[in-house]
């Protein structure tokens, strides 16, 4: 197998990072949770991130020559953030000096340790006022005080600059995101500032307002995406945009209203002004991002399924329409394709897939099942056409995971239900309940591996036999007074899990791996947060590995957005992921149909751990 | 004298260019009107601009190593546009191979030869449509076809991209200005495109629409700046913005309305759509630029006279409010200070001051007299507080150079007048008429060098004696039935010319020059276009040099804007001028008052050429 990654062993910690080209030594340390001293956070201005090369070759950079004597260079001293790893894979051993101060860090994502270095910088400045001897223009005066930045200055900020400078005797705070001056404020306002992490789902919008100085979440909440009015899946939304002249504008305004209402609520609950939120990281599927920005999405829905853009975008809040500071930067994660979107890239960031020497599978189950397989040398991703069964759609009594939904089922001689909101009567069943119910029916012998549900006369002695009913002449199983699973529902679930399992099978084959070689299977998305890993395995949704290796990883997309907010290095990594991840299109492949047919059967109970 | 410039002698032409650091060999050739072969226009992508070093040292660049063999390098071959001249002044002799094709060029400004390389590029592209095997996003597909550009893409353009690509089977034209994608259009629209040159004066707005493929002016016109309603000079306009809550918005909307009305007229006369105008270069004084952009201008009017910005700005037409393509780029020239503005920088570009080994003086007379002195080693600039007398303000019968104004006066035994518009009766007198009249009165012996006008009883035998009248008890000279020049008017003119002459005197002293060493005196601005150079000299407005050296140079500010539109290299040069030109603040200097007092007297007639 061709080695495509650099191997960096850090001492005295003894941790090994495997990183692709383009990453700096400083960043590579961060990948394995090792912090190197730095004041500027790796932006290349403080020259404090000194490390020493113990083994391997790493030619000195310009920065190294400026910072070290010839003797120091030959002893291996290097500036870590300026040493970028090239195309030829290296094996290096690197000594990291003890930290002078303990940096602030946060534990985010799937056990990821992130050193706080937010994309937003607040620079408190005291400028010398102009005189007849120094008539330097206000903007040039500001630039002079920020020699390490080459700022792009929006007209709106330039308009306020003279008054802001003179409001507090040329003492001000410059708010910078990336290379953009987002705001200037009189006096010192650098003590607190906020960011917004946003996961934009077809059904649900989740937002977190984060204190960027501490890394703490100050408000977290979710709302339904009111675009639901125009159809529950992405295809019907795109159709709406295509078919009516004002369709796109309606869709955009609708989702913006949903987001902004949620924002008002969250900011209100934390007694915060949106004017103090200077940065947002937006994850979401490809269609949702197109519709949020009113970018023509027709081609996403038609063969050959082409997005208008796949690169990360960097826009002003006023352009997007988000109700935070009007010049705040709104950044989106890159997309991999029409059906593997920015949410998956954010999830890969949050779970650290592909950053170590383990084989790890990430499954995000929604309308499509998005699958990512990370190995020590490759990251593969695909979208399996699972349909929305696990979201409760196409299921007779299916519903979203809201009040009244059966979210867990335990089946033995009786049937025990857990209902969301503690209602006495179930109104329907959501994805995690469905997985439990199917797993229970298989174990109880009422559903065979071909997916056929027994009729009452075929299991007359079974303790649950009187729950076997007929609805419109079709076999069904009654879970509650008003909630039945029909044979048709079970077929829909079978198709859904078959599509996902087939996708997994193809990615494993492409990577030359057996299922048993998987070290970890992470289930994400709102469904993945609640599904019982044992049920996921019992119905054959995930491959047969030890059940301790199947983990519900929560909303990894939102976690990725939070990480990118809190660390510009993590954001850079995420932006590079679209280059690193190999997107595998399943819809054109003959072997996918074969794998799907092979994957339709449910596992025989007890055959796996 | 310390040498700050590189000296490049080009062969076989034998022309010598003297250029500052930062200029490429390719650009240096352009300075002296020599064209080097190039397809990309010196953007560094075609590698066709091969030249050979005959004498001097110029180390090979990366581009040279890629393009030439070791033997060729040692014979002196270099890529001209990649060879930038550094800080240490060089003396080089360079051979320019004969041109394979004759490039388009235009004669602009003050005899300046500009090779057409407009900032706007129209790239006609035929892309391969996406397939299931190549689902590359539309934007990435476009980028792939433009590998030499790192484009910034506005959201508005991204929104249209998918539909544009699919409108003509993935054949399109990309409109690029600098590093920005301004538009995408179906099919091949590259045959014609336009730019706008704009000179934004306190009184008058002048605009030219230029065909960027031919360099020809397709429409040219002027309009009064309707901000006049809020005061005729910049100070009263700034006061209006400061004093009323909506003042700034009013001023901005007013000037935009004036510009956009003029644009509608010009575009209509050429049967053009504003949608085909992708780029505008805006020159104007510092106050006008601030007010156009609604940037707080208060500090311009108060000691120590500080602009909000001095760097060149690059904005979208939709931000500025200009009625051309909404994503067109609007660029402003840099400012030197509160009272030496972007119009002067454009004028320096147009006149080529400081680019050769001559001593050249540029005087732009308006509310202030802006003065630039170029020598072989330095360029100095200053604003002299002349007041608006030469614009006809503060003069009893003064008026702008419009219908009914006396624009020329010949005085002998009789008085002959030229009246604008050929009206039989004069309504007033404009600047050029004023200069002629004062020159005539001096020559006729009716005005002495102290500035005192004779009373009728002091010149009873003079053929013009019955034109010596008294108005409100004050001596005056009657030019026409309704037009008199009073003693007060003559004092105002005396002060105005005294301030300008004092400014010139100080700049000459700072540069260590005598007036006689001036090779050329260029008079610009609308006043400079019409004034009789002999009269300018007779009244002492310009120093006593041979009158053939005093030249009316027209609207050099508009010419500079046209040059920058037609050549991105000229624009780069203009943007660098703010660093090159030394701004001399006169208002704080004690020697200015002395020079002013010394300069008040009018010259004794016949004492100079």
Residue B293 in contact with partner chain A when CB distance is under 8 A: yes
What integer is the mean pLDDT of B365-376? 87
Distant-in-sequence, close-in-space partners of A457: CB < 8 Å, separation ≥ 6: none
Q: What is the mean pLDDT of chain B?
A: 90
What integer is the mean pLDDT of B437-447? 96
**Calpha distance A228→B434 (Å, rounded):** 75
**Calpha distance B58→A241 (Å, rounded):** 60
Taking Cα atoms as reference points, which of B179, B524, B203 lies closest to residue B345? B524
**Calpha distance B155→B223 (Å, rounded):** 34
**Calpha distance A336→A309 (Å, rounded):** 10
Q: Where are the beta strands (DSSP E) in B457-554?
A: 468-471, 474-480, 483-486, 520-524, 550-554
Residues recorded for chain B = 609
**Calpha distance B83→B21 (Å, rounded):** 11
Q: Where are the beta strands (DSSP E) in A489-547?
A: 520-524
Q: What is the pLDDT of residues A131-176, one digit of tens each?
A: 989 999 999 999 999 998 999 999 999 999 999 999 999 999 999 9
Q: What is the DSSP letter of B438?
A: H
pLDDT confidence of residue B328: 98
Q: Express as a percent the part of chain A with pLDDT over 90.
A: 67
Residue B590 in contact with partner chain A when CB distance is under 8 A: no
Residue B139 to residue A585, Cβ atoms within 8 A: no
pLDDT confidence of residue A53: 93
Taking Cα atoms as reference points, which of A453, A437, A418 lies closest to residue A536? A437
Residue A105 in contact with partner chain B when CB distance is under 8 A: no
pLDDT confidence of residue B365: 84
- What is the pLDDT confidence band of residue B105, given thresholds at 50, 70 and 90? low
Residue A391 in contact with residue A203, Cβ under 8 Å?
Answer: yes
Count of Cβ atoms closer than 10 Å to residue A396 Cβ: 17
Q: Which of A130, A159, A297 sits opposite B306 (nearest CB)?
A: A130
Q: Where are the beta strands (DSSP E) in A472-576?
A: 474-480, 483-486, 520-524, 550-554
**Calpha distance B375→B362 (Å, rounded):** 12
pLDDT confidence of residue A490: 95
Q: What is the pLDDT of residues A522-542, one digit of tens each?
A: 998 767 767 888 999 999 999
Residue B337 in contact with partner chain A when CB distance is under 8 A: yes
Residue B155 to residue A315, Cβ atoms within 8 A: yes
- What is the pLDDT confidence band of residue A452, given thresholds at 50, 70 and 90? very high
Residue B307 to residue A137, Cβ atoms within 8 A: yes
What integer is the mean pLDDT of B501-508? 96
Residue A308 to residue B138, Cβ atoms within 8 A: yes
Judged by DSSP in three states, A139 sits in: helix
Count of Cβ atoms closer than 10 Å to residue A593 Cβ: 11
Residue A163 to residue B587, Cβ atoms within 8 A: no
Backbone angles phi, psi at B588, to 5 degrees: -95, -5
**Rounded to the nearest 10 degrees, what angle do helices A487-511 and A431-443 cross at?**
100
**Calpha distance B199→B529 (Å, rounded):** 15
What integer is the mean pLDDT of A380-406? 86
- What is the pLDDT confidence band of residue B116, given thresholds at 50, 70 and 90? confident
Count of Cβ atoms closer than 10 Å to residue A204 Cβ: 21
Judged by DSSP in three states, A305 sits in: coil
Highest mean pLDDT among A216-230, B283-297, B409-423, B530-544: B283-297
pLDDT confidence of residue B592: 93
**Calpha distance A149→A160 (Å, rounded):** 20
pLDDT confidence of residue A33: 65
Q: Residue B413 burial by CB count (10 A; 0-12/13-18/19+): exposed, middle or buried?
A: exposed
Alpha-carbon torsion (B416, B417, B423, B425), positive or negative: negative
Residue A315 in contact with partner chain B when CB distance is under 8 A: yes
Residue B228 in contact with residue B254, Cβ under 8 Å?
Answer: no
pLDDT at B485 over 60: yes
Residue A177: enclosing H or E segment and its boundaries? strand A171-177
Taking Cα atoms as reference points, which of A313, A359, A315 lies closest to residue A335? A313
**Calpha distance B347→B373 (Å, rounded):** 12
Q: What is the pLDDT of residues A226-277, one digit of tens each?
A: 999 998 888 899 999 999 889 999 999 999 999 999 999 999 999 999 999 9
Q: What is the DSSP letter of A131?
A: B
Residue A590 in contact with partner chain B when CB distance is under 8 A: no
Taking Cα atoms as reference points, which of B51, B104, B576 lies closest to residue B345? B576
pLDDT confidence of residue A102: 60
Q: Residue A456 burial by CB count (10 A; 0-12/13-18/19+): exposed, middle or buried?
A: middle
**Calpha distance B427→B408 (Å, rounded):** 13
pLDDT at A99 over 80: no
**Calpha distance B425→B436 (Å, rounded):** 18
pLDDT at A27 over 80: no
Taking Cα atoms as reference points, which of A69, A23, A31 lies closest to residue A50? A69
Q: Which residues of B touch A308 (CB under 8 A)?
A: 137-139, 158, 161-162
Q: What is the pLDDT of residues B242-276, one digit of tens each?
A: 988 899 999 999 999 999 999 999 999 999 999 99
pLDDT at A21 over 80: no
What is the nearest CA distance from B301 to chain A, expressed in angstroms?
Answer: 12
Categorise residue B409: left if φ over 0, alpha if ψ from -120 to 50, beta otherwise: beta
What integer is the mean pLDDT of A423-435? 90
- What is the pLDDT confidence band of residue B336, given thresholds at 50, 70 and 90? very high
**Calpha distance A360→A519 (Å, rounded):** 6
Alpha-carbon torsion (B88, B91, B93, B99), positive or negative: positive
pLDDT at B516 over 80: yes
Q: How far is CA B67 from CA B38, B326, B471, in A?
A: 14, 40, 79
pLDDT confidence of residue A100: 65
**Calpha distance B495→B368 (Å, rounded):** 12
Residue A309 to residue B166, Cβ atoms within 8 A: no
Q: Is the ipTM of this complex over 0.90?
A: no
pLDDT confidence of residue B86: 83
Q: Which of A140, A293, A588 sits opposite B310 (nearest CB)?
A: A140
CB < 8 Å from A in window 119-148 of B? 130-140
Tell me the HSE value of A310 on the side-chain side, using a 13 A CA sphere: 28
Q: Which residues of A touch B308 (CB under 8 A)?
A: 137-139, 158, 161-162
Residue B324 in contact with residue B272, Cβ under 8 Å?
Answer: no
Predicted TM-score (pTM) of the model is 0.85
Backbone angles phi, psi at A575, to 5 degrees: -65, -30
pLDDT confidence of residue A486: 96
Residue A337 in contact with residue B135, Cβ under 8 Å?
Answer: yes
Taking Cα atoms as reference points, which of B120, B99, B117, B150 lies closest to residue B27? B117
The mean-pLDDT minimum among A84-98, A591-605, B326-340, B477-491 falls in A84-98
* pLDDT higher at B2 or A333: A333
Q: What is the pLDDT of residues B186-207, one digit of tens each?
A: 999 999 899 999 999 998 899 9
Alpha-carbon torsion (B451, B457, B460, B464), positive or negative: positive
What integer is the mean pLDDT of B558-577? 93
State the best of A127, A128, A130, A135 to mutate against chain B, taking most chain B CBs within 10 Å.
A135
What integer is the mean pLDDT of B332-355? 93
What integer is the mean pLDDT of A411-428? 91
pLDDT at A1 over 70: no
pLDDT at A279 over 80: yes
Categorise residue B76: left if φ over 0, alpha if ψ from -120 to 50, beta otherwise: left
Q: Which residues of B touch A579 (CB under 8 A)?
A: none
pLDDT confidence of residue A521: 95
Q: Which of B133, B158, B319 sits opposite A155 (nearest CB)?
A: B319
Measured in whole angstroms, the distance separating CA B293 from the mean position of its chain's CA atoms is 19
State the best of B308, B321, B332 to mutate against chain A, taking most chain A CBs within 10 Å.
B308
**Calpha distance A300→A338 (Å, rounded):** 5
Q: Express as a percent the part of chain B with pLDDT over 70.
A: 95
What integer is the mean pLDDT of B280-300? 97
- What is the pLDDT confidence band of residue A127, given thresholds at 50, 70 and 90? very high
**Calpha distance B396→A151 (Å, rounded):** 50
Q: What is the pLDDT of residues A473-531, one digit of tens each?
A: 999 999 999 999 999 999 999 999 999 999 999 999 999 999 999 999 999 876 776 78
Q: Where are the alpha helices (DSSP H) in B33-181?
A: 62-67, 70-74, 138-144, 155-167
């Amino acid at each position: 197998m061709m080695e495509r990654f650099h191997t960096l062993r850090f001492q005295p910690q003894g941790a090994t990072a495997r990183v692709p080209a383009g990453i700096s030594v400083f960043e590579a340390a961060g990948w394995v949770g090792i912090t190197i001293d730095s004041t500027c956070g790796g932006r290349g201005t403080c020259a404090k991130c000194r490390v020493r090369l113990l083994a391997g070759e790493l030619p000195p950079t310009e920065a190294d020559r400026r910072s070290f004597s010839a003797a120091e260079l030959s002893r291996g001293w290097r500036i870590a953030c300026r040493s970028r790893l090239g195309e030829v894979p290296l094996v290096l051993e690197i000594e990291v000096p003890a930290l002078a101060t303990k940096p602030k860090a946060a534990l985010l994502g799937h056990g990821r340790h992130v050193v706080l270095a937010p994309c937003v910088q607040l620079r408190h400045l005291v400028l010398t006022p102009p005189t007849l001897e120094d008539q330097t223009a206000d903007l040039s005066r500001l630039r002079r005080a920020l020699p390490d930045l080459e700022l792009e200055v929006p007209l709106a900020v330039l308009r306020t600059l003279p008054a802001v400078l003179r409001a507090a005797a040329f003492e001000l705070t410059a708010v910078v995101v990336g290379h953009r001056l987002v705001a200037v404020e009189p006096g010192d306002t650098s003590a607190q500032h906020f960011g917004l992490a946003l996961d934009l789902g077809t059904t649900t919008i989740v937002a977190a307002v984060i204190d960027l100085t501490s890394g703490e979440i100050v408000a977290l909440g979710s709302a339904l995406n009111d675009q639901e009015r125009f159809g529950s899946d992405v295809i019907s939304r795109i159709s709406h945009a295509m078919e009516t002249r004002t369709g796109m504008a309606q869709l955009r305004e609708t989702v913006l209203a949903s987001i902004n209402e949620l924002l008002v609520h969250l900011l209100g609950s934390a007694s915060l002004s949106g004017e103090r939120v200077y940065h947002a990281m937006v994850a979401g599927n490809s269609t949702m991002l197109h519709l949020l920005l009113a970018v023509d999405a027709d081609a996403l829905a038609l063969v050959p399924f082409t997005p208008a853009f796949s690169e990360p975008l960097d826009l002003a809040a006023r352009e997007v329409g988000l109700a935070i500071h009007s010049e705040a930067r709104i950044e989106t994660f890159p997309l991999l394709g029409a059906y593997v979107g920015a949410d998956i890239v954010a999830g890969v960031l949050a779970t650290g897939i592909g950053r170590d020497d383990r084989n790890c599978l990430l499954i995000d189950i929604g309308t499509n099942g998005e699958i990512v397989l990370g190995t020590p040398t490759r990251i593969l991703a695909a979208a399996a056409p699972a349909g929305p069964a696990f979201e409760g759609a196409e299921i007779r009594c299916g519903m979203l995971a809201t009040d009244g939904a059966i979210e867990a089922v335990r089946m033995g001689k009786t049937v025990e239900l857990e209902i969301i909101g503690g209602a006495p009567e179930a109104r329907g069943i959501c994805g995690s309940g469905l997985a439990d119910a199917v797993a229970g029916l298989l174990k109880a012998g009422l559903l065979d591996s071909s997916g056929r549900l027994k009729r009452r006369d075929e299991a007359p002695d079974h303790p649950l036999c009187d729950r076997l009913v007929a609805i419109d002449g079709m076999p069904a199983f009654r879970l509650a007074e008003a909630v039945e699973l029909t044979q048709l529902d079970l077929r829909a679930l079978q198709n859904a899990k078959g599509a996902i399992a087939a996708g997994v099978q193809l990615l494993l084959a492409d990577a030359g791996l057996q299922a048993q070689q998987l070290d970890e299977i992470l289930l994400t998305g709102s469904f993945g947060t609640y599904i019982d890993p044992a049920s996921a395995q019992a119905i054959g949704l995930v491959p047969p590995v030890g059940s301790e290796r199947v983990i519900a990883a929560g909303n990894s997309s939102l976690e990725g957005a939070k990480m990118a907010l809190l660390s510009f290095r993590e954001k850079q990594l995420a932006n590079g992921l679209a280059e690193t991840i190999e997107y595998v299109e399943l819809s054109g492949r003959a072997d996918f149909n074969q794998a799907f047919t092979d994957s339709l059967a449910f596992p025989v109970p007890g055959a796996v751990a």
